[in-house]
Structure 1
């Protein structure tokens, strides 16, 4: 476990009766849960169970069909206007979205920019930060991820593991309150996985960032999570501390999923 979150504080992330449908396909059904500031929550479950949709809703890449999402006590999908709640406009979405970073399974780096500019582009042009200060912070982050000497390289000259480290540094450059991780090791060669997971473990234990992580790396989930949520068919089947959920899962669906992914008898 990375650290103990502040249980008394207001939630950093709150889902209230959130449903998401794509046509007739209901991906998330009436989800209600909270994530505390500084908490590391991992979402596990079979493909198509709704895990990545949770992250996409928080990034406003998708809109809720019904229900409410709050980030840091402010509504994400909706906003107050004239004494009532209405769907959020683009200005509101952009403001709240600045509090959230995401690292994708595909690195999504800008191929025409060197590493340093990949990291400083959004802080300078989205947040309006001073270029020199943004570059100094970027170099600090590159030092943290072990790539300070690659600042002037282009992504095409980096390995997959190095590109994913740059993507993590780029997300951190926005100083997010919440960091979303979507299968961040799935595109990496097996020998590169441990280094990236070790880096994320260090970030989780040394910052107050709130994490929501979708991963198939059960060992990592067990080691770094404060809480694990098991999803199936758009619902939370079971949740709890990793030692109890992995050690003594209470739901048969969780047991069968873990048997499959951990190759248990």
Structure 2
């Protein structure tokens, strides 16, 4: 659940709190700041995600939602605070004396194995067919035997409704089909956490429903933890256990979908939803 995003600890309090992360949370942001020069994107952000939970981040463009996903994938680095994944520090690592220091790439890469991400753009390898796109990372990053990786890839292609496209290349697929391959590719890495960043924003409108249906099936039939950024509010209502409303780098309201969409407390939430629903 989200905690008070306006809370700021006394000097050193954030480091002491982060040294003992809550074991009940799979993802924990502790007083996380992200800024570029004087521009603050995330402002002492606290929020947590429990194992198996589906959390959707909503709010206006520029409110910091995608930055959260990019920090979890270590595509960006925090300016202050701590991030924990599965009880392990992601942004930091333990020094020999038990204190926390900034994580190196090796440490981040190890913790990041728990996380998979589906991006707005499909980012498939154009020179590889569908099967190769899905098996490349499990074989070369996780060390999965190729036969085992291919068997799992075929299962995932069946899951996303593309079992007949094994030998097709990305240029032979529609945008919706490419995004479904990207979803299968992310799942092939056996992540505990699946990050979804506006996964239908690059699709033609008639292709959106098919991709969202695949994600609904995954949400309802697996125990994977999901953190989703989307402007598809009906999808957010369907799959989410919790909705977090962001504005100016902070969580201003959080709750169950029925509460957020039916009776939000914050005027900014009401304004945002009235503009997009």
| TM more than 0.5 | yes
Identify the residue that residue 64 of structure 1 maps to in structure 2.
78
Question: For the residues of structure 1 that align with 2:52 and 2:220, how far apart are their CA atoms?
Answer: 9
Identify the residue that residue 181 of structure 1 maps to in structure 2.
196
Question: For the residues of structure 2 that align with 1:208 and 1:74, how far apart are their CA atoms?
Answer: 20
Alpha-carbon deviations, 1:115-144, whole Å to 9, x = none? Answer: 000000000000011000000000000011
2:34 is the counterpart of 1:13:
no
Q: Is the 8 A contact 1:9 1:36 kept in 2?
A: no
1:9 CA displacement? 6.7
Question: For the residues of structure 2 that align with 1:90 and 1:185, how far apart are their CA atoms?
Answer: 30
Identify the residue that residue 247 of structure 2 maps to in structure 1.
232
Q: Which runs of 4+ in 1 moved over 2 A?
A: none
Give matches, 1:6-155, under 5 Å: 10-83=24-97, 84-155=99-170
Question: For the residues of structure 1 that align with 2:238 and 2:139, how far apart are their CA atoms?
Answer: 35
**Which stretch has the larger CA shift, 82-91 or 119-128?**
82-91
Secondary structure at the aligned position of 1:55 is classed as helix
Question: For the residues of structure 2 that align with 1:176 and 1:77, how far apart are their CA atoms?
Answer: 18
Question: For the residues of structure 1 that align with 2:40 and 2:76, how far apart are their CA atoms?
Answer: 13
1:205 CA displacement? 1.2
Identify the residue that residue 3 of structure 1 maps to in structure 2.
none
Question: For the residues of structure 2 that align with 1:213 and 1:57, how far apart are their CA atoms?
Answer: 14
Q: Which stretches in structure 1 are left out of the alignment for 5+ residues? A: 1-7
Question: For the residues of structure 2 that align with 1:115 and 1:50, how far apart are their CA atoms?
Answer: 33
1:223 CA displacement? 1.3
Relative to 1, partners in 2 of residues 1:19 and 1:72: Cα closer, same or farther, differing over 3 Å? same
Alpha-carbon deviations, 1:179-237, whole Å to 9, x = none? Answer: 00000001111111111111101101111111000000011111110000000000001
1:73 CA displacement? 0.6
1:255 CA displacement? 0.4
* Count of aligned residue pairs for this structure pair: 255
Q: Which stretches in structure 2 are left out of the alignment for 5+ residues? A: 1-21
Question: Cα RMSD (Å) of the superposition?
Answer: 1.0
Q: Is the 8 A contact 2:23 2:87 kept in 1?
A: no
Secondary structure at the aligned position of 1:185 is classed as coil
From 209, 215, 237, the counterpart of 1:200: 215
Secondary structure at the aligned position of 1:256 is classed as helix
Identify the residue that residue 165 of structure 1 maps to in structure 2.
180
Question: For the residues of structure 2 that align with 1:110 and 1:60, how far apart are their CA atoms?
Answer: 21
Question: For the residues of structure 1 that align with 2:187 and 2:27, how far apart are their CA atoms?
Answer: 18
